[in-house]
Amino acid sequence: MSSNRILRAAVLAALLPAFAAGCTRTELPGLSSANAAPAVQMAARATGTQMLPDFATLVEQNGATVVAISVIKGAATAADETGAAPNADPNDPLQEFLRRFGFPNPGDPRGQRAPRGGEREEQAQGMGSGFIISADGLIITNAHVVDGAKEVTVKLTDKREFKAKVLGSDKRTDVAVIKVEANNLPTVKTGDPSQLRVGEWVAAIGSPFGFENTVTAGIVSAKAREMPDDGFVPFIQTDVAVNPGNSGGPLFNMAGEVIGINSMIYSRSGGYMGLSFAIPIDTALKVKDQLVAHGKVERGRIGVAVQEVTRELADSFKLAKPEGALLGGVEKGSPAEQAGLKAGDVVLGLDGKTVADATALARGIADHKPGDSVQLRVWRDGAARDMTVKVGAAPGEKVAARSEAAPAGKLGISARELTEQERRQLGAEGGVVVEQVAGAAAKAGVQAGDIIVGVGSERVNTVEELKRAVEKGGKVVALRVQRGKAERFVSVPVG
């Protein structure tokens, strides 16, 4: 027996007793339908007072609200002569099982069942999940499920199938809304993700690998997770098993409420490894409302580049603690510039709410519509002030740039003034160019060729101005550095 089959047999052997044990339900004294949660009762084991969730009732009440989605999109690649997808092991018994019974091939990155005999399909098939949010056929799923779709089919648990229309999708949040022509459909209840507690039970329902209405469960592992290159979705992290085909399906709390949309996993193998991420339902519903009304999402922007406030930067700006969003740059002619914001300002509040970090500011501004006015609490020159900014429209997918502060070291810079020709070529209003760098600045990430345009909120145009600004800056200075067309602050200890 191959190692692959041994591993699968071991997994099955481990699962069978666990399944048998999970079928036993014992109610503790005092636990009845009268005092249990209104939507989903709780089961308990006889071993002490530990309460276990009743997933069976949750599924009975909500399973019919979850749909399987199949999509026809672009051209497929040719299969090998065994009918397996590229990179799939033709001797894998699971691959053979799925081929024989017509299920989508998990070895295929598109989630489709590959053709046999080297045949080439003209259209590729994708799959995913979704859930019904209105009785007249509105369904939420992931944008990547329906991206590039030529045809979308929705299958209900009662085996009815409908062709669906894509009302709109938003790649930034990975949320899409589709519509089927039907009435009196079962709908989900939505909950409040802000009330989730790390460690509480949650469950997912979806169609992994085409196995419809599959239930998996786990706990909330973390909240407000930020993914690389994505600062607009505060993901819910869980250890719920999520696989290809689960995308777009609902994540339920134990009150039977949808609190998230299963969207992605983190994996080194391509399969589930215990890290799955869901889009909070409140984020998705805001997107849904705009997609239904306009077919697209409008986001606000004010024209700033933001970065985190480190301990060193907080010291240099005389902040009591590292908080808020530091403005590393302000675009010319932008709403931020028109309102009087400057590079070096630290935004501490937005519309009366604390801005914890750069991500919070980016999300808060993006949630506003163009034309809205927002109130910012800004820290400048050692004091807080209130400023009003009229929000503009974000072009395309870009809302606000992000820049990361480099680690600090010891100051050591040799610089000179820019020539008039260099200023014109670089598009720089002023500043000094770094010729040599060592010690503090080098460790902080300053490079030869960088242009230092300011220290804190003070602009510098000569070497003498740079020296005076550094001397006044205290133990840590925040150098405003231009590299190419981008600007950012770098904190550097002095002395």
- Write the CB contacts of 242 (distance below 8 Å, at least 6 apart in sequence): 204, 206, 208, 216, 262, 264, 265, 272, 276
User: Distances in Å between the alpha carbon of 63 and those of 103, 224, 242, 332, 458?
Assistant: 21, 27, 17, 53, 60
Question: What are the helix (H) ranges across 171-318?
Answer: 281-294, 311-316
Residues 367-400 as b or e (16 or more Cβ within 10 Å = b): bbeeeeebebbbbbeeeeeebebbbbebeeeebb
Which sign does the torsion angle of CA 418, 421, 426, 430 carry?
positive
Distance CA 378, CA 327 (A): 10
Which among 54, 108, 170, 174 is annotated as catalytic? 174
Closest to 188 in 3D by CA, of 261, 92, 117: 261
- Reported in sequence order, the residue ranges of 381-475 that DSSP labels E, i.e. its strands, are 383-390, 392-393, 401-402, 413-417, 432-437, 451-455, 458-459
Distance CA 272, CA 175 (A): 21
**247 included as an active-site residue:** yes
**174 included as an active-site residue:** yes
Residues in the chain: 495
Q: Which residue in the block uniquely carries the two structure tokens 């002619």? A: 333
Which among 207, 247, 403, 491 is annotated as catalytic? 247
* Terminal alpha carbon distance of the chain: 68
Distance CA 91, CA 333 (A): 63
Token duo for residue 71: 């999509």
How many CA atoms within 13 Å lie on the side-chain side of 240? 35
Which among 92, 144, 230, 267 is annotated as catalytic? 144
Contact 397, 296 (CB under 8 A): no
Token duo for residue 349: 């509040």
Closest to 141 in 3D by CA, of 175, 173, 114, 118: 175
Contact 342, 318 (CB under 8 A): no
Active site residues: 144, 174, 247
